[in-house]
Amino acid sequence: MAEIRRVKESDVDTLVQLVHDLAAYEKAPAECRLNAAKLHTALFGEHPAVFAHVAEQDGEIVGFALWFLNFSTWRGVHGIYLEDLYVRPALRGSGLGKALLATLARECVENGYQRLEWSVLDWNPATGFYKALGATAMDEWTVYRLTDTALDNLARTA
């Protein structure tokens, strides 16, 4: 039986490994620069801005949801942006992903947040799972991102 719970400081090393596993699954392992110090500060530092839940089975962390608050100007309230959802491959289809998402949905409802959002790669087979939960693909929206040199260049123009 799996338990979904909030992340603890002692979970950080395992979470970092799972994030790297996710990056490998998404065919971008070289882009993952997360380490335990960075994640520990983000989750447990003086001003934590990232939150996480883990799925633990038989004393082992086998999945996680890492998230942060966003804000909808149109609705006038916060929501949750799910940065990463990951379940070890051997346990996919076991209900752990749904349990993690249900926990975040409950977090939204209990706190008056009106959105739970996330991005998914087009080729990810989980898109069918998300649609079955009632999630709507925001096909008319395109994600834009600035990183590395482009981010530095723009910052210098301010």
> What is the pTM assigned to this prediction?
0.93
H or E element that contains 107 = helix 96-111
Among 25, 81, 130, 144, which one carries the catalytic annotation?
130
Residue partners of 48: CB distance under 8 A and separation at least 6 = 42
Is the CB of residue 116 less than 8 Å from the CB of residue 75? Answer: no
Terminal alpha carbon distance of the chain: 53
Token pair of 96, please?
Answer: 């752990």
Strand, helix or coil for residue 103: helix
Clarify whether 25 is annotated catalytic.
Answer: no
Handedness of CA 15, 42, 84, 131 (dihedral sign): positive
Strands in the chain per DSSP E: 2-6, 51-57, 60-72, 77-87, 116-118
Per-residue pLDDT of the chain (158 residues; tens, 9 = 90+): 789 999 999 999 999 999 999 999 999 999 999 999 999 999 999 999 999 999 999 999 999 999 999 999 999 999 999 999 999 999 999 999 999 999 999 999 999 999 999 999 999 999 999 999 999 999 999 889 899 899 999 999 97
pLDDT for position 35: 98
Strand, helix or coil for residue 64: strand
